[in-house]
A = this chain, B = another copy of it.
Amino acid sequence: MQTPAIQDFYPDDFSHCFGCGRLNATGHQIKTRFDGDETVTRFAPSSHHVALPGFVYGGLVASLIDCHAMATAAGAALRSGGNEVGAVPSPRYVTAQLNVSYLMPTPLGGELEIRGRVVEATPRKTRVEVTVAADGVVTAKGEVVAVPMPASMLRA
């Protein structure tokens, strides 16, 4: 049983991200949910998200890993504070470091499964490992460092 989507509880002012903001009408609007201790997002790339014919654009793969990792860090922070997803607003994290290994071309046409897990969490940073799989085969791996949104990104 999966939780509600972590991104659906970002504050409105921080819900415009092209990758995962529920208020960005032209964005991907990905949804990251806990599935046990891991997180999962499912996403079906569009036909124009192509790299070479038949394969998913690597920039999209990187983007999915990025937003999924930020939500995973937010979800972990919620749980470490004793809250489940949806009980309080999800905290907003931003990316400090994004490392993606493309293990093989990702076939275009089906739904991708993106899974994440926290491997280190301190008040200053959260490290998240992510896999991207097509038809059960992992095609890309990500290592992402998330940090709490700095005050410099707050605009009145």
Residues of A within 8 A of B (CB): 13-14, 16-19, 21, 24-27, 48-55, 57-60, 62-64, 66-67, 92, 94-102, 104-105, 149-150, 152-153, 155
Contact = CB atoms under 8 A, between A and B. Distances in A.
Lowest 5 CB-CB distances: which A-B pairs, in order?
A: A59-B63, A18-B57, A62-B62, A98-B100, A99-B99
Given A52-B153, A94-B105, A97-B99, A59 B57 contact: no
A58 B27 contact: no
A100 B18 CA distance: 18
Contacts of A27: 48
A53 B54 CA distance: 34
Contacts of A14: 52-53
A98 B94 contact: no
Among A17, A21, A24, the one with the most B-chain Cβ atoms within 10 Å of its Cβ is: A17
A76 to B, nearest CB: 19
A97 B101 contact: yes
Given A95-B102, A97-B100, A59 B51 contact: no
A50 B21 CA distance: 9
Given A48-B24, A53-B13, A155-B53, A18 B94 contact: no
A54 B21 CA distance: 14
A57 B16 CA distance: 10
A26 B60 CA distance: 14
A64 B45 CA distance: 18
29 contacts: A14-B52, A14-B53, A16-B50, A17-B57, A18-B48, A18-B59, A21-B50, A24-B48, A52-B92, A52-B94, A52-B153, A53-B155, A54-B153, A54-B155, A58-B94, A58-B95, A58-B98, A59-B60, A59-B62, A59-B64, A59-B66, A59-B67, A60-B63, A96-B102, A98-B99, A99-B100, A104-B152, A105-B150, A105-B152
